Amino acid sequence: MKIFLRLYHFIWLHKWPFILGSIPMIIAMILNNISPFFVKWLTENAQAQNFEQASFLILIFAVLLVTANFLENLGYFITDKNMVRTSNTIAHAVLTHIHDLDFAYHTNKSSGKLISLMKRGDDAFFAYYDIINRQLLNLSISFGMMIFAFTTLKATYLFSVAILVLLTALVATFLIKINIKKRQAFNEADDEVSSARVDNLVNFDTVKYFANEEFEQNRFAALLKTWNQRLQAYFFTFRYFDGLVGNLINLALVGIMYLALVDLSQGQISLPDFLLVSTFAMTLFPKMMHLLFSMRELAKKHTDLKTYLELLDEPIKVNDPEQAKALSKIDGEIEFKEVDFAYENKQAILRDFSLHIRAGEVVALVGFSGAGKSTVAKLLMRMYDPQQGEVLIDGINLKELRRVELRKFIGVVPQDPLLFNNSVYFNIAYAKHQAKRQEVLAAAKAAQVDDFVRDLSAGYDTIVGERGIKLSGGQRQRLAIARVLLEKPKIIIMDEATSSLDSASEKIIQQAFWQMVRDPKDPKTSIIIAHRLSTIMQADRIVVLDQGKIAELGTHSQLIKNKGGIYQKLWSLQRNGFIGDGESDSQK
């Protein structure tokens, strides 16, 4: 029932097209179901040799059929528009909710499975809309007309129809439940196949690097084997349905006609009434068979639509406050106060972590892998909320701000930037949609993007491919840096932002970065996560993390003098300007 309520919640958002489209359809369905009455009336006039009246009835019948056809098409036209609009509304609501879901949801979800789920769900919506709002409505009107006709005859017909319909419905319900279970099992296998397809397409370069084409083909073949078995089992449920339900309806049709024939032979009904009963039986029961087969399709789509709409029930763990504080600008002061944080089902990453970063200060985070450097950045972006403690900007707890408003003040250059399958220009301008072209090009030149764009086939209009696959790692990082230079946020997070650049390019980009963050008119608060020493030596302070706590704090010159300290050990491990990435200090 929940799925129907939610479905009609969305349909009712566009209620007037739904109502205005349903009215002519209902009238058309009523007119189309008058046919058995015309058969009776024509037979009566033919028996009485009243051919003039019979001709007049045929003329009226023709007018009604033409009218019904016009109204039916008008109703379909209006409701088709409503159906497509409702589908768009649901798709937009689902995507909006997925955007609102926290970072943890996306890290645990397969993109391939999610795409497959959404596609099947959208297809299922159209099936549901048509079967429920059109086919079921048509059958209900047909039954109503038949019941009205049979009430003028014998109660036996109504009783017989009720028993046959009930028996057929019970058998159909039992078989549909089996069908749904088999469909769910098939969907799981289908999702695995879709996920494997996406993985192979997205990571085709990794497959080739390791010459694992045969391994992936065998892995995919194993998934296809399970997929095939479950699809065959699912298809087999249709054969049960077609055989049992189809023959029950055929027996019902023949049974009603036989009852009417017996009554005719015994003089209990007239020939026109016999034709009325037979015509209703021959038109209604095939409709019922068609509807039950459609209900089978509905069962097939039930799981798809249910899972699709249940995406809207996925809990948002990082919520916006009901009464959010509005910020038009910030100074950029950051404070972590006694923060404890652990990812789901994992050991603590940060323990009693406290750090105050002044507005306009540049702070570098240093430490071995797993020390909590990137976690600090994610908490600041409010990708997650800490289990204990607070994260504040300008003295305001991040939980008091809307996430989208918070992130407008923060620019991020990740270690491995992923780009949209669009043009170079689009990917840079994505940071500031309203930016003028000269602003975008200026940012591109400052990030040294302009140097390699000149050699591309279509310049700034060159499509970079999925995830920016057509560009090198260094080129993608330059694009990511250009985006931040264009955005000019108050807070900047550089997460290994120059790790893929050569020394000459890094030097130029570093100059652009430091000019931006050290701008005397508008200094930026910056957090640098890096292994390359050239990116952190100029930082105002360097924070050395070890097992989620601050182990050392100071400038490069201060920390390098701390004999036996972690930073000095990291310094000794450096190679070509990089800090070694190894075990935590406590594990050495």
Instruction: Examine the pLDDT at 181 and tell me if it is beyond 90.
Output: no
Instruction: Examine the pLDDT at 12 and tell me if it is beyond 80.
Output: yes
For residue 258, give the 3-state DSSP assignment: helix
Instruction: Examine the pLDDT at 582 and tell me if it is beyond 60.
Output: no
CATH number, residue 139: 1.20.1560.10
pLDDT at position 586, please? 41
Tokens 């019941």 belong to residue: 147
Q: In terms of domains, do 112 and 148 share one? A: yes
Q: In terms of domains, do 571 and 530 share one? A: yes
Yes or no: say if 373 and 367 are a contact pair by the CB < 8 Å rule. yes
pLDDT at position 581, please? 45
> What is the spatial distance between Cα 149 and Cα 59, in angstroms, rounded to a whole number?
22
pLDDT confidence tier of residue 576, bands split at 50, 70 and 90: very low
> What is the spatial distance between Cα 310 and Cα 184, in angstroms, rounded to a whole number?
15
> What is the spatial distance between Cα 171 and Cα 144, in angstroms, rounded to a whole number?
23
Going from the C-alpha of 326 to that of each of 396, 403, 560, the distances in angstroms are 11, 11, 43
Instruction: Examine the pLDDT at 75 and tell me if it is beyond 80.
Output: yes
pLDDT at position 534, please? 62
Tell me the pLDDT tens digit for each residue of 237-276. 777 777 777 777 778 778 888 888 888 888 888 888 888 8
Q: In terms of domains, do 110 and 221 share one? A: yes
Tell me the pLDDT tens digit for each residue of 464-501. 887 788 888 778 888 888 888 888 889 989 887 666 66
pLDDT at position 68, please? 92
Instruction: Examine the pLDDT at 345 and tell me if it is beyond 70.
Output: no
Percentage of residues in the chain having pLDDT higher than 90: 16
Total domain count, the chain: 3
Instruction: Examine the pLDDT at 1 and tell me if it is beyond 50.
Output: yes
Does residue 530 belong to any structural domain of this protein?
yes
Q: In terms of domains, do 427 and 546 share one? A: no
Average pLDDT over residues 526-540: 80
pLDDT at position 168, please? 77
Q: In terms of domains, do 154 and 200 share one? A: yes
Q: In terms of domains, do 265 and 365 share one? A: no
Tell me the pLDDT tens digit for each residue of 430-448. 888 888 999 999 888 888 8
Q: In terms of domains, do 166 and 288 share one? A: yes
Average pLDDT over residues 519-525: 85
**Which domain does 358 fall in, by range?**
327-409+492-498+524-588
Does residue 423 belong to any structural domain of this protein?
yes
pLDDT at position 28, please? 92
Tell me the pLDDT tens digit for each residue of 374-399. 889 899 989 889 999 999 999 999 99
Q: In terms of domains, do 462 and 567 share one? A: no
Does residue 508 belong to any structural domain of this protein?
no
Tell me the pLDDT tens digit for each residue of 121-148. 898 899 888 888 888 888 788 877 877 7
Domain end call among 313, 335, 352 = 313
> What is the spatial distance between Cα 236 and Cα 186, in angstroms, rounded to a whole number?
12
Chain CA centroid to CA 343, Å: 24
pLDDT at position 379, please? 92
Average pLDDT over the chain reads: 83
Q: In terms of domains, do 166 and 34 share one? A: yes
Does residue 509 belong to any structural domain of this protein?
no
Does residue 159 belong to any structural domain of this protein?
yes
Residues 105, 110, 116, 120, CA torsion sign? negative
Average pLDDT over residues 86-92: 92
**Pairing assessment for the beta strands 334-342 and 362-366 based on DSSP bridges:** unpaired
Q: In terms of domains, do 140 and 266 share one? A: yes
Least confident of 81-85, 241-245, 336-340: 241-245
Q: DSSP letter for 575, please.
A: B
Average pLDDT over residues 533-542: 81
Average pLDDT over residues 362-370: 85
pLDDT at position 26, please? 93
pLDDT at position 500, please? 62
Does residue 516 belong to any structural domain of this protein?
no
Does residue 554 belong to any structural domain of this protein?
yes
Average pLDDT over residues 99-111: 75
Domain end call among 313, 346, 381 = 313
Going from the C-alpha of 72 to that of each of 18, 24, 289, 300, 454, the distances in angstroms are 14, 6, 21, 27, 59
Does residue 171 belong to any structural domain of this protein?
yes
- Across 496-516, b (16+ Cβ under 10 Å) vs e yields bbbbbbeeebbeebbebbeeb
Going from the C-alpha of 460 to that of each of 420, 451, 454, 457, 479, the distances in angstroms are 14, 11, 8, 9, 11
Q: In terms of domains, do 140 and 270 share one? A: yes
Domain end call among 460, 488, 516 = 488
> What is the spatial distance between Cα 371 and Cα 393, in angstroms, rounded to a whole number?
23
Instruction: Examine the pLDDT at 36 and tell me if it is beyond 50.
Output: yes
CATH number, residue 578: 3.40.50.300
Average pLDDT over residues 207-228: 84
In sequence order, what are the residues at sequence separation of 6 or more whose Cβ sits closer than 8 angstroms to the Cβ of residue 131?
A: 291, 294, 295, 297, 298
Q: In terms of domains, do 363 and 446 share one? A: no
Q: DSSP letter for 532, please.
A: B
Tell me the pLDDT tens digit for each residue of 305-316. 888 888 888 888
pLDDT at position 86, please? 92
Half-sphere exposure at residue 383, Cβ-oriented, CA atoms within 13 angstroms: 17
Yes or no: say if 90 and 36 are a contact pair by the CB < 8 Å rule. no
